[in-house]
Amino acid sequence: MTSSILFNITTLAYLISMLIFFVFLASRIKALGIAGSATAFVGLAVQTVAIGLRWRESYALGVGHAPLSNLYESVVFFSWTIVLIYALLDLRYKYRIIGAFVMPFALLGMAWAQLGLDSGIQPLVPALQSNWLLYHVITCFLGYAAFAVACGISIMYLIRENHEKSTSANEQSIVATFPTSRVLDDLNYKAIMIGFPLLTLGIVTGAAWANYAWGTYWSWDPKETWSLIVWFIYAAFLHARITRGWVGRRAAWLSIIGFAATIFCYLGVNLLLSGLHSYGG
C-alpha cells in the first residue's frame, strides 16, 4: 500500500469525523460525540503511518529526507498536528464538541493537499539539507496547530458568549450544549499555552539554523518578520488576560487574529511576498 492511498483514507476519515460532529451538534446524542473523536483518532493513526511510509518511499527514490520539504508535505503535516493537538485536548478535557470547530481546519488542509497540490517527492535543495529543518518545522507546525485549535475554540466562545448575553439560561438550543464561555475562555488559554512555547522554540530554532547556515540569526526576512508578528499577537493575548478591559471578547478576537496572521505567515508570505523560505510550491 502506498502513502498516497493512506492519505486519501485520512482525508475521508476527517470528512466523516467532521460530519459526525455536525450531526452531534444538532442532535446532542452523546454516542455521536464519541464516534466523531474516534473517527478523528483513526484518521490520525492512518495519517501517522502514511507520513512514515512517505518518508521511507523517499529513501527508495534515493533522495531520502523527512517529508517536510515542500508545500504539499507541510500542509499534510499541518493537518496531522492539528488533529494531534485536538486529540490531546480531547483526551484531557473531554469537551468533544470542540471537534466540530477544529476538524474543518484539518479537513481543509488534507483536501487541499490531496486535490490541489503536487504530491511528488523531490530531492532537497542544498539550503534545506540540515537537521535543523526537522526541529524547526516540527516545532513551528505544532505551534501553528495549537493556534488553529485555539481559533476554533475562540469562535465557539464568541458564539456562546453572545448567546449567554441574549437568552435566558435554560433555553434549549445547539449553542446551549457548548461548554460555558468561562470554560471556553480557559480552553483557549490552554491551547495558546501549548502553542506559544512551541512557536517561541520554532522561532529560536529558525534563528539558530539561519545563524548556522548564513551567519545571521535574524535578517528581517518576511517569513521571520511574520513569525514575530504572530508572536507579538499571542504575547499580547497572554498579557491581555491580566489587563483590565482586555479579557473575554477582546482576548478571543486576539486569538482569531493571531491565527489569521499565522496562516498568512505560513502561506501568504510565500504566495505574496518574497524571501528565503521555500514552501511557495
Partner 1 sequence: MTNNERTLSQSLWDFFCSLKLTMFLFITLAVISIIGTIIPQGSPSPEYLQAITQNKLKLYQSLGFFDLYHSWWFMLLLALLSVNLVACSMKRFPQIWKTITRPVTVMNDGLEKTLTNLTVIKASGNAAELRDGVMRVLKTEFAEPLRTEVNGVYHLFAQKAPWCRLAVYFVHLSVVIIFIGAIIGSLFGYKGFVNIMEGEGVSKVMSRSEKEIDLGFTVRCEKFSVSYYDTGAPKEFKSILTVLDNGQPVPGYNRVSVIVNDPLTYKGITFYQSSYGKAGEYHFTVSDSNGKNPIDLVVNSNSSAKLPDGSGMHVLEITEDISPYAQGLSGPAANIEVHTPKGGTRRIVVYANHPELNMQQARQSGGPLFQYKGGKERIYTGLQVAKDPGVWVVWFGCFLMVVGIYIAFFMSHRRVWVRIQNGTITIGGNASKNQGGFQLYFERLVEKIKAQLSAEENK
Task: List residues binding ligand HEM (CB under 6 A).
Answer: 235, 238-239, 241-242
Q: Which residue has the cell 446524542?
A: 29
**Residue 4 touches which of ligand HEM, partner 1, none (CB < 5 to 8 A by kind)?**
none
Which partner in ligand HEM, partner 1, none is near 215 (CB below 5 to 8 A by kind)?
Answer: partner 1
Residues 38, 40, 42: CA angle, nearest 5 degrees? 70
Q: CB under 5 to 8 A by kind: which of partner 1, ligand HEM, none does 120 bind?
A: none
Q: How far is CA 157 from CA 20, 153, 182, 196, 217, in A?
A: 21, 6, 9, 20, 38
Is 65:125 a contact under the CB 8 Å cutoff?
no
Shortest CB 242 distance to ligand HEM, Å: 5
Site of grid cell 450531526: 23
Pick 238 or 257: Cβ nearer ligand HEM:
238
Handedness of CA 199, 155, 110, 81 (dihedral sign): positive
Q: At its nearest, how many Å lie between partner 1 and the CB of residue 231?
A: 9
Q: Which is nearer to partner 1, 51 or 210 (CB)?
A: 210
Q: For 172-194, b where at least 16 C-beta lie within 10 A, e where not — what string?
A: eeeeeebbebeebbebbbbbbeb
Rounded to 5°, angle at Cα 113 from 109 and 118: 160
Provide the minimum distance between the beta carbon of 232 and ligand HEM in the complex, in angstroms, as a whole number: 8
Task: With CA atoms as reference, report the closest residue to 11 among 38, 40, 53.
Answer: 40
Nearer to partner 1, 19 or 201 (CB): 201
The binding site for partner 1 (CB under 8 A) comprises 63, 122-123, 125-127, 129-130, 132, 186, 193, 196-197, 200-201, 204, 207-208, 211-218, 220, 222, 225-226, 228-229, 232-233, 235-236, 239-240, 242-243, 245-246, 261, 269, 273
Toward partner 1, which CB reaches closer, 41 or 95? 95
CB-wise, 241 or 250, nearer to ligand HEM? 241
